[in-house]
Amino acid sequence: MDELVVQRVASRAGAILVWIGGTLLVLASAITSQAADPAGPNLLVFLADDLGAKDLGCTGSTCYRTPAIDGLAADGMSFGRGYAACPVCSPTRAAFITGRHPARVGITNFIGGNRRGKLLPAEYRSSLPEAEVTVPELLQQAGYATGCFGKWHLGSPAQVRRHGFDTVGSNASGPGGGPAHDPLHARAIAAQASSFIESNEGRPWFCYVPMHSVHVPLKARTELVAEERGRVATLPPHEGPREVPEGDRMARAVQDLPVYAAMIRELDETVAEVLATLERTGQAGDTLVIFTSDNGGLSTAEGSPTSNLPLRAGKGYVYEGGIRVPLLVRWPGVVAAGTTCDVPVTTLDVAATLLDVGGCRLPAEHVLDGTSLRPLLTAAAPLPPRDLVWHYPHYSNQGGRPSGALIAGDGPPAGTEKIVEHFEDGRVELFDLAADPAEQHDLAAERPDRARALQERLAAWRAAVKAKMPTPDPEAVGRNATATP
């Protein structure tokens, strides 16, 4: 890069950093201004594991049955463009627990992941630092009882209480490790969350339910698998290919795997039991309920159990299939039933919403990377313009390679232009998500100035949060570039 180009990039980056910094201060100030309010409603968050954007009846599946979750959509707001903070689990969980971007926290891969390819993947933390101020800690300070029941995956389960949870359960068990009658701990998690809700009736509480469903191994109760096998066999036959190419992999193109359908039923049963507890104890009317997932559906590896089509790819990729997820919000008396919202929002916004609604006080100069969704939920105002950013400097188990992505907060129209930057070779793709949600038509060659401008904004963001990047691997020279364990 010659000196003139360096100066130009530095100038633009400086302006962008000023804009980012100002925006963060405005958002932090907006949430802090709510701190004087008394404790808000009860807060119930369901976080599914590997559930794709198209895996629910209310989001378009004609194979899977999800009556309880569909009921949340009918009674509240469905976000058509809900996004996970990362295409794999641990970073998204870190984003939810802290309200800060995974790159800022330092957890950018699923904990335990260590694949290599052309590049040496960026180093990342193997547990959530105790110095991080967490959402449950701030809610505790605001007077909330806090409970976490299910998958932690942010370090040792012994640390869960130290990050702000009074009561915990099913944190030490992995997916598929349960007994035959409850292989993914769905029943245990439902019972523990329900007990917590019942025991804290009369005071505000935050109940975090990070389920093991529908993560591999592909298992469910025997009777459910048999029932789904029979039902799926009666569905109309799939027309067209069963797989579509995705780089050097193939992605599943049809939803018809009986065991996965059974796993989703177990997931829905967990939601149904906890919601029934709210009704039985008379707390449903004063509880904000949020349902979402930690990343997109698994479609290119490990059995490829589901399809995200028409969205591209799946878990492990920064394409839409890997980061777009269901996001449903029910808040009786506040959120109108049966409403939809197409504003792009992320896990970070969910965290900011909990802090806002819970009346939390933020520490001085504390930086949050999300925006409270309250204006959208109440139809009071739009969100301020902002870029949405993903940073994944790793090789995923599913075939994804080190990359970053940015959805532009400006337009026209805002929130429709997306770039994907590939860190192995610096290649940039530009997509118009309004016209091409499947990301099949790269416009970078047609709009080089726009692609370059967004790439510079992405680079400036990385500098602002001190995001770690992959580095060249001298041993990779001359060998096959395909990522290996």
Cβ atoms of residues 414 and 408 within 8 Å: yes
**Model confidence pLDDT, tens digit, residues 470-479:** 999 888 755 4
Closest CA to 167 of 211, 141, 131, 136: 136
Q: Which of 96-110, 172-186, 211-225, 433-447 has the lowest mean pLDDT?
A: 172-186
β 205-210/388-392 pair status: unpaired
The DSSP code for 235 is S
Helical residues (DSSP H) of 306-431, grouped into ranges: 320-323, 347-357, 374-377
Answer yes or no: is 162 within a domain.
Answer: yes
Give the chain's domain count: 1
Closest CA to 403 of 295, 322, 466, 345: 322
Q: Is the pLDDT of residue 35 over 80?
A: no
**Model confidence pLDDT, tens digit, residues 50-92:** 999 999 999 999 999 999 999 999 999 999 999 999 999 999 9
Answer yes or no: is 411 within a domain.
Answer: no
Answer yes or no: is 324 within a domain.
Answer: yes
Closest CA to 264 of 483, 22, 40, 59: 59
**Domain span holding position 318:** 32-384
Answer yes or no: is 402 within a domain.
Answer: no
The DSSP code for 281 is T
Answer yes or no: is 470 within a domain.
Answer: no
C-alpha angle with apex 414: 411 to 417, nearest 5 degrees?
75
CATH number of the domain encompassing residue 269: 3.40.720.10
Q: Is the pLDDT of residue 415 over 80?
A: yes
Answer yes or no: is 433 within a domain.
Answer: no
CA distance from start to end of the chain = 34
Please report the pLDDT score of residue 393 as a whole number.
Answer: 98
Q: Report the percentage of the chain scoring pLDDT > 90.
A: 86
pTM, full prediction: 0.91
Answer yes or no: is 484 within a domain.
Answer: no
- Cβ-in-10-Å burial (0-12, 13-18, 19+) of 452 comes to middle
Answer yes or no: is 408 within a domain.
Answer: no
Residue 66, strand partner residues: none
